[in-house]
Structure 1
Amino acid sequence: MTEPTPDLSIVETRVYRGANVWSYDRSIHLVVDLGVLEEFPTNTLPGFTEELLRLLPGLREHSCSRGRRGGFVERLTEGTWLGHVTEHVALALQQIVGHDIRRGKTRQVKGQPGHYNIVFGYVDEQVGLAAARLAVRVVNDLVRHDPEFDFDAELESFILRAERTAFGPSTQAILDEAVSRDIPWIRLNQYSLVQLGQGVHAKRIRATMTSETSAIAVDVASDKDLTTKLLGAAGLPVPKQESVRSVDQAVRAAGRIGYPVVVKPLDGNHGRGVCLDLQDEDEVRASFAVAQDQSRRGWVIVESFVTGKDYRCLIIDGRLAAVAERVPASVTGDGTSTVEALVDLANADPRRGVGHEKVLTRIKVDDAAVELVREQGFEMSDVPPEGVMVKLALTGNMSTGGISIDRTFEAHPENVEIAEEAARMVGLDIAGIDFICPDITQPVRETGGAICEVNAAPGFRMHTHPTIGEPQFIAKPVVDMLFPPGAPSRIPIVAITGTNGKTTTSRMVSHIFKGMGRKVGMTSTDGVVIDERLVIKADASGPRSARMVLQNPRVDFAVFEVARGGILREGLGYERNDVAVVLNVQPDHLGLRGIDTVEQLADVKAVLVEAVPRDGHAVLNADDPLVREMRRRCSGQVVWFSMALPDDGGPGSEVRDMIDAHCRRGGKALVLEPTDRGEMIVVRHGRRDMQLAWTHLLPATFGGRARMNVQNALAAAAAAFAAGAPLHDIRQGLRTFSTNYYLSPGRLNEVEVNGVNVIVDYCHNAPGMRMLGDFVDRVGESLDSGSELGKPSRIGVIATAGDRRDEDMRELGEVAAQHFDVVVVREDANLRRREPGETAELVADGVRAAMESGAARCKQLEIVLDEIGAVHHAMSRANRGDLLVVCVDKHPAVMAELENWSQQAQAGATDNPDAPAADPDYVPPA
């Protein structure tokens, strides 16, 4: 190609909602294809850089990799690829709408020329995605202009989208203060409902209404008649007032109260429908309809008109936080401009926007404004004299275009006391008290002022961004009220990853802390468990499940099983974990989502270690070289665990030497120490050695034969120790945790069916099969020694998921053939885009290859695709004393089937291979 064409396109989009393989924080990840533009860096595109900087002048501030202002412009001039340009354009677009995001990187996709990974941060997910799409269109348009692409119109549409999803100024102020205190937050809906804190410490806010706000107090504040009566009964200055439902009642009430009067809705807000300084019956009649239209229940208030300035006193947690004088929307004549021109000039102020998008709201000229101007002796086309103020609204609300003047430190102490007492009488934790008085610096009881309204959920904008005066940091007392100094906002998080053993280790850690009285929220491949209750039955090892636990108000301790798929798909889903546990890294799930090597898989799992804070811990398997390397990515302390024995003369000696050196420097580790009575788990902290438990006395280890659970116990104990659990609680937890179906469903569950020893496990890959095979060999030896009728057979029912590589499936079969006399190959219900029988045949190929080599134990291979059918087949050929290992997919159905078989055996129907199918949701009774 000799001419560039606009070929840039987005191939794939991912949104990371927590730490991920690309960044420590949430990010958007694009995979883009440059097409022919791969051959055209920016220095080969005439006019590209100049036009880009004209459209987005903010790009001149980007430092890029140069680390200085203008660094990105230098890169553009020298020549950089358009994927990199797209990254910076997406950042610049977000900066235009006030999202101060500067994190980004662009890397070429290995082995795919023209494809690039673009990663950049975001504040709001939808805004970030819209910025990505618009950035691609902008770059393509600069390569070759599209007549249908109008950048200004597209930018305006993008800004409006950002405004629709952005938090209001009040919510944003509270969130900024929370973030400054390291308080986590979660947006619960597309509006302003936000959770601050985690689990049992969580508080919720919606704008300036909090989870501490009384619903009754809100109802009282919404009823202006009731509010006035309560305040009057407390001796606070309030205007005379009556509630009416008809215009005639309003006229009679105005006559009793005495003119001038105010007519306003009983339960309105933001100053809507408020009509002031009504001098006669006709004005009351005209205003009644305006007020009633804004009243939700049809009631209208008629009250005496109190003259003076409009002040808003903000009360937070019973104390005055700020005072603002509210000036109604108005313009001041200059002697040459019309009223209409003066309004346009005022609205041109960049601080003014639509609604609450900016610190000021645009002045709206409606019929009421025109009539008010006319009452002052002007038309909109008239030129008011210089210095003459023309009002366009009677109320001083910011939402109607008014301005604010900070008066916080000028309010008289008696007025402060009155405002605080009014908030207490209504019962609001955050209240806006509206004073009308000549001067807030003088006592209102002497000057004739009064409280005209008490507002629930008052806006903060007039205080945080006053038009005149110093801004008040009123979010601080709000956060102080929700989280007093020293109060926790986070719950401890233990995150566990690895190729094998994640679920069992997670259950062990959860069991330890459950025994300590903690309300544990746990996620695993079986579902979400809250305080021992399975609340969601699904594969819940991803970030969404983690967020569900953090939102639960009962949880005070979280244990997350974290799988590689969730990290690659969405990141961690939370900011950081106090304890990260990495059990092992083995070749599994390779060839998916760009992970082709075990080293790349280790990088994915290391995300947990990178998410450990300085005061946190990473619990790492010292026996795994890839896991050992993760210590360099940990900001906190490293706690080692190891199965290596001292002085074994092999690699284990090097591992123990490393651990010894680590502990001499004050580090922590859990190791095995051989003794005459068996292996002892020892906790090492600095130069102290503390005995924890004998491995053969832990029920989950099957007398020490289940070496994978010995390792899992070490990891769980290390995690609990790092999380602050006392040793006696860790010991008690390990001693009471077993692999029965109720504590650890689908993980080394042992049952006896008609004299056959059956082990049910979730093993599904070759590394796991090696560990399971070691356990089978150890158990088989004990069965052989106890048998009087001959050598018992070992039967294995095996399978794997269809998304593994072909060679991984064959390897599983080869490993299984080393440990079983009979191998029955089945398939999962979800074939994962494989044809029926394809996965089973690949596994069977591995078994056959091992049998043909002559080194395999297996003498017989059979294929039964259906899981329950495979269990039937294996049970029908098993004899008393045999060992049957079933690697399950749907463990409830398999356990129910085994129980059915056992019950039939007791009923004398042991030779019936056609037992009824089990209910897949059945759980055996306790």
Structure 2
Amino acid sequence: MAETAGGSESGAAGAAGAPRVVVIKESRVYRGPNYYSYEPAVHLVVDIQGLEESPTDLLPGFTEALLAILPGLHDHQCSRGHDGGFVERLLEGTWAGHVAEHVALELQRTAGHEITRGKTRSTGARGVYNVIYGYLDETVAMLAGRLAVRLVNDLVSRSDGTPPPDPDFDFEAEHESFLRTSQRVAFGPSTQAILEEAITRDIPWQRLNSGSLVQLGHGVHQRRIRATMTSITGSLAVDIASDKELTNRLLAAAGLPVPASEVVTSADEAVRQAHRIGFPVVVKPLDGNHGRGVAINLTTDDEVRAAFELAADESRRGYVLVESFITGKDYRVLVIGGNMVAIAERVPAHVIGDGIKSVTELVDETNADPRRGVGHEKVLTRILVNDAAVELVRAQGYEMTDVPPRGEMVKLALTGNMSTGGISIDRTFEAHPDNVDIAEEAARVVGLDIAGIDFLCPDITQPVRETGGAICEVNAAPGFRMHTHPTIGDPQYVAKPVVDLMFPPGSDSRIPIVAVTGTNGKTTTSRMIATIFKGIGRKVGMTSTDGVVIDDRLVIRADASGPKSARMVLQNPRVDFAVFEVARGGILREGLGYTSNDVAVVLNVAPDHLGLRGIDSVEQLAKVKQVIVEAVPKLGSAVLNADDELVANMRRACAGEIVWFSVKPNNRMIADHCRRGGKAVVLEPGELGDLIVLVHGRRRMPLAYTHLLPVTFGGKAMFNVQNAMAAAAAAYCAGAHLHDIRAGLRSFTPSYYSAPGRMNLTEVRGVKVIVDYCHNAPAMVALGDFVDRFFEDAPAMERPQRIGVIATAGDRRDQDMVDLGYQAAKHFDIMVVREDERLRGRKSGETAALIVQGAEAAQAEGARVKEIGVVLDEIESTRVAVERANPGDLVVICVDRARAVWDELQAIGKTAQAGAADE
């Protein structure tokens, strides 16, 4: 079930006097594959403080008290692999963080959420642990985690005999509140049944609101449900079903048996119609549901008047229906897609006398049934004793304190609704065929794809037309619980035909997803892939640091490389192909946000963003980026950079096929891979230039010469050569034809308007200016290589200057900033060092000083740089760099606000043109 790494080795030498309580320092919810787990999970960072020195075997009475409160912990296997494994760990001694994990899992279990996934690991800091556990509903899981910590702290204080940290803590009351909240926010049994069926078919889903509105499928294939209403359900049919009088008239016109009925708006009118129809009668709201406000078997004027008031309160429009009372048993016939799929006999909430116990005691005994819970949390609902129940018992000749005779049934509700404590008996295979035909015809008359037909008749096994009986209601969005979890009889798998309606066998529910990650080059590669599939005619949804693009239209301008943006694309009903740029920040913050990607592309892993969110080494960073590789299914592909050792090692984490790309010739690993029928994209030098070749087994398929691709600047930008190779491999894996791949790569240009901030080249006053987001040392090495190649074709007598505007974000480590300056100094004659507008916790000038420090160190070693200046403002540094340049020089601006810098460059150019015209 779960594992723990135990206490840290420094535990025995912990600080004396530290508080003996567990504190939640940080909490996160992962909504998809993540750094810690492939499944959705909650992550709590807890500090157990003084309890680091007190595992559970040193806490007197702790284990016994915990197991008495939550006996279900006996079933937890933990790392032992057998029931009782966690109890063994408690007795041997385990730490409070591990206990909190298991308690959180068990609390979810008490709410009906069967989850067993969890683990607890030390963060490396003394007493601080990562507690990871799975969930079905994130709100329930977070509440469970907080309640688990409070319970552990309370039990520790009892063990120590010290004052509890929360004197008002009452676990029973808190647990009851937790269960009620869980029932309110979690999916009901009907929605859950449909989702479980969808999951078994690998149909993805996502919740769209805090209620039961759920999307099944992605993009163009999506369908929606709200409980048991689907996107196929007609609104007109729902309106008809909610109007009981209209429903009765339509059914009667079709020759179906229905009770006589009339709509009334006053108590006096209800009495008159009751006399006209003939007693006994039923009074109920015209547009009610769940049996609320329904009174049956009324035989007097006073009963009708009282029932009218009750029904009117439950009616949304104030209309009340009076109809003839049909004697017999209450049956619910479930019709889906025009076919009967289940029948349940509904028995109202009741108790059976034993001649010993009172009615109250019998109710308590019935509610003690472990199958009964609050609301819909379990298969049965606890019987609620309210004023109406007391009056009903009194009408049967008993008080709540009376002892009914043995075998006597005492009803506590008039209707057989499960939500009021009723029970159900499965009668699916007992119904007479005529009755089944009547129910199916009723659903067709109303027009519902999913309908609950309420039959009242003496016996469902006999024809209703002969024995008497009628259809008393046709319900839209009928509940499934009575069919999926009958009290007596076999469960019926009614969710299957619902999912069949929305996704007929053989239909698609997913759209292809290509995920791209790496330290550098993610956005450019994502845009290349999107361009290829746009050329094929696909409606591409793309996320990147530039924003969310739907079918070539920028709908959100923001850093959209996280899971929320991915879900936004998957919700769009136009999208039939998705390309996601996946940044390490989103993975650490929330996970991927989706379950799997058909193609994962990992470009490179280099030191960047280290020291943030617990990622302190490049190896840990590689594990974060590896998440998209782990999310590749068996029939998917991972496109990996064979030239990067950290990326190449990710092959072991992929369940699908591996596709390599490499710019280095004669790679033995790739040769062996292709000899076995594998795929790779390689670079082959030739007389006409470097050729990108797609290799699939023995087949070698030329794609394009690098110098013919605009994004490579004549083959000089080797990092974009790599990006183009990765894009080609991803497109091939996703089903693109070679012709389409070639066309897409040749049409993709690094202009500001197609890829803002990615190697955008313009000319200002005769000076060539490149705008790029380069912000770390590895990117500067690649960019510097391009700068060195940029003038290789120029005449030897010309010595154009290279001017660089250099900066990085303030949340990088000091050493990363120094390294950036050191690398930049190797390639530029003049460096203008600036800072971003957002300093991210740094003081003004601090980031620039570290970059200058690195540049000066390189300069002292004989690097190319001759002049280093500091101009902190981004726009002002742009002006300074352009002014220092002469015609024919190259200025490279490492930007933060690409649009503002581009606009400034265009303004400088227009000013220069205007000045030239005046002369």
The answer to whether the Cα contact below 8 Å between 1:509 and 1:719 also exists between their aligned partners in 2 is yes
**Contact 2:180-2:374 within 8 A present in 1 as well:** no
User: 1:546–1:573: 8 Å Cα contact kept in structure 2?
Assistant: yes
The CA deviation at 1:542 is 1.2
- Please give the per-residue CA displacement for 1:563-613, whole angstroms capped at 9, x wherever unaligned: 111112222112111111110111111222222221121111111111111
Q: Write out per-residue CA displacement over residues 102-138 of structure 1, whole angstroms, 9 at most, x where no aligned residue.
A: 222222223x222222222222222222222233233
Aligned counterpart, 2:877: 870
Alpha-carbon distance in 2 for matches of 1:116, 1:876: 55
Name the structure 2 match of 1:98: 112
Residues 1:9 and 2:29 are matched in the alignment:
no
Partner of 1:888: 895
Native 8 Å contact 2:112 2:378 kept in 1: no
* Matching residue within 352, 364, 367 for 1:332: 352
Given residue 451 of structure 2, which amino acid in structure 1 is its aligned partner? Answer: A
Partner in structure 2 of residue 923 of structure 1: none
Q: Is the 8 A contact 1:62 1:70 kept in 2?
A: yes
Letter in 2 for 1:436: L
Matched, 1:682 2:693: yes
Cα distance in 2 between the residues matched to 1:401 and 1:64: 36
Q: Which of 61, 74, 78 matches 1:60? A: 74
- 1 CA distance for matches of 2:25 and 2:295? 58
Structure 2-normalised TM-score?
A: 0.94
Aligned length: 898
CA distance in 2, matches of 1:332, 1:31: 51
Which residue of structure 2 aligns with residue 922 of structure 1? none
How far, CA to CA, are the matches of 1:62 and 1:201 in structure 2? Answer: 39
**Is contact 1:262-1:276 (8 Å) kept?**
yes
| Pair 1:754-2:762 in alignment | no
> For structure 1, which segment, 798-807 or 10-19, has the greater mean C-alpha deviation from structure 2 after superposition?
10-19
Superposed displacement of residue 2, structure 1 = 8.0
The residue aligned with 1:514 is 534
Find the partner of 2:580 among 560, 563, 577: 560
**Partner Cα separation in structure 1 for residue 279 and residue 716 of structure 2:** 94
Are residue 771 (structure 1) and residue 779 (structure 2) matched?
no
The counterpart of 1:132, out of the listed 138, 142, 145, is: 145
Structure 2 match to 1:837: 845
2:6 matched to which residue of 1? none
Partner Cα distance (1:892, 1:5) in 2: 52
Aligned to 1:802: 810
1:210 to 230, 254, 264: 230
Distance 1:744 1:41, change over 3 A: same
Among candidates 480, 491, 497, match of residue 471 of structure 1: 491
- Partner SS for 1:24: coil
2:734 pairs, out of 701, 706, 723, with 723
Asked whether the 8 Å contact 2:18–2:49 carries over to 1, the reply is: no
Q: CA deviation at 1:193?
A: 1.6
**Percentage identity across paired residues of the two chains:** 70
Report the TM-score when normalising by structure 1: 0.94
Quote how far apart the aligned CAs of 1:4 are: 8.6
Tell me the equivalent position of 1:417: 437
Cα distance in 2 for residues equivalent to 1:373 and 1:47: 46
The question of whether the paired residues in 2 share the 8 Å contact of 1:783 and 1:792 is answered with no
Does 1:193 pair with 2:200?
no
Q: How does 1:475-874 map to 2 (within 5 A)?
A: 475-646=495-666, 656-784=667-795, 790-854=798-862, 856-874=863-881
Match of 2:38 in 1: 24
Q: Shift in Å at residue 639 of structure 1?
A: 0.2
Segments of structure 1 that go 5 or more residues without pairing to the other structure are 647-655, 913-926
Distance in 1 (alpha carbons) for counterparts of 2:810 and 2:682: 37
Contact persistence 1:5–1:144 (CA under 8 A):
no
Tell whether the 8 Å contact from 1:6 to 1:141 is kept in structure 2 after alignment. Answer: no
Work out whether 1:249 is the aligned partner of 2:249.
Answer: no
Deviation at 1:783, TM superposition (A): 4.4
Aligned residues of 1:780 and 1:794 also touching (Cα < 8 A): no
RMSD: 2.0
> CA offsets per residue over residues 331-362 of structure 1, 9 Å max, x none?
33333333343333333333233332322223
Q: Secondary structure at the match of 1:205?
A: strand
Aligned-pair CA distance for 1:23? 1.3
Q: 1:354 to 1:255 in 2, by over 3 A?
A: same
The 3-state SS of whatever aligns with 1:89 is helix
The CA deviation string for residues 777-833 of structure 1, in whole angstroms up to 9 with x for no partner, is 212233456x8xx42222111111111111211221121121112111111111111
Q: Measure the CA separation in 1 of the matches of 2:391 and 2:450.
A: 36
In 2, Cα distance between the equivalents of 1:335 and 1:41?
Answer: 52
Name the aligned partner's letter for residue 833 of structure 1.
Answer: G
Q: Offset at 1:66? A: 2.2
Cα distance change of structure 1 residues 45 and 258 upon mapping to structure 2, 3 Å threshold = closer
Over 3 Å counting, the alpha-carbon distance change for 1:357 and 1:104 in structure 2 is closer
Amino acid at match of 1:154: E
- Given that 2:183 and 2:375 are in contact with CA atoms closer than 8 Å, whether structure 1 keeps it comes out as no
Cα distance change, pair 899–106 in 1 and its aligned pair in 2 (3 A): same
Q: Which amino acid aligns with 1:725?
A: A
Q: Which residue of 2 aligns with 1:268?
A: 288
CA contact (8 A) 1:876 1:911 kept: no
1:98 CA drift (Å): 2.5
Alpha-carbon contact 1:186-1:195 (below 8 Å) kept: yes
Q: Is this contact kept in 2: 1:780–1:883, CA < 8 A? A: no
Cα distance 1:57–1:283, how it changes in 2: closer, same or farther (>3 A)?
A: closer
AA aligned opposite 2:842: R
What amino acid is the match of 2:143? A
Question: Aligned match of 2:325 in 299, 305, 320?
Answer: 305
SS of the counterpart of 2:754? coil
Task: Report the secondary structure of 2:195's partner residue.
Answer: helix
Provide the rounded CA distance (Å) in 2 between the counterparts of 1:364 and 1:55: 25
Shift of 1:748: 0.8
Distance 1:188 1:129 in 2: 19
CA distance in 1, matches of 2:476, 2:866: 78
Please point out which of 455, 459, 467 is paired with 1:439.
Answer: 459
Report the equivalent of 1:649.
Answer: none
Distance 2:505 2:415 in 1: 38
Secondary structure in 2 matching 1:383 = coil
Compared with structure 1, are the counterparts of its residues 530 and 439 closer, same or farther at alpha carbon in structure 2 (3 Å cutoff)? same
Deviation at residue 909 of structure 1 after TM alignment: 6.8
- Preserved CA contact (<8 Å) 1:222 1:455: yes
User: Match for residue 144 of structure 1?
Assistant: 157
Q: Which runs of 5+ in 2 are unaligned?
A: 1-14
Alpha-carbon distance change, 484 to 83 in structure 1, aligned in 2, over 3 angstroms:
same
Change beyond 3 A, Cα 1:640–1:397: same
In the TM superposition, residue 9 of structure 1 has moved relative to its aligned partner by: 2.0
Q: Name the CA distance, whole Å, in 1 between partners of 2:698 and 2:259.
A: 76
Cα drift, residue 619 of structure 1: 0.5
Distance 1:529 1:513 in 2: 13
Map Cα deviations across residues 380-414 of structure 1 (whole Å, 9 max, x no partner).
34433332323333222222222211111111111
Distance across 2 between alignment mates of 1:393 and 1:55? 33
- 8 Å CA contact retained: 1:784, 1:792: no
Instruction: List per-residue Cα deviations over 1:469-519 (Å, max 9, x = no partner).
Output: 111111111111111112222211111111110010010011111111111
Q: How far, CA to CA, are the matches of 1:169 and 1:53 in structure 2?
A: 29
Amino acid at match of 1:65: S
Shift of 1:242: 1.6
Rounded to whole Å, the distance in 2 between the matches of 1:543 and 1:576 is 12
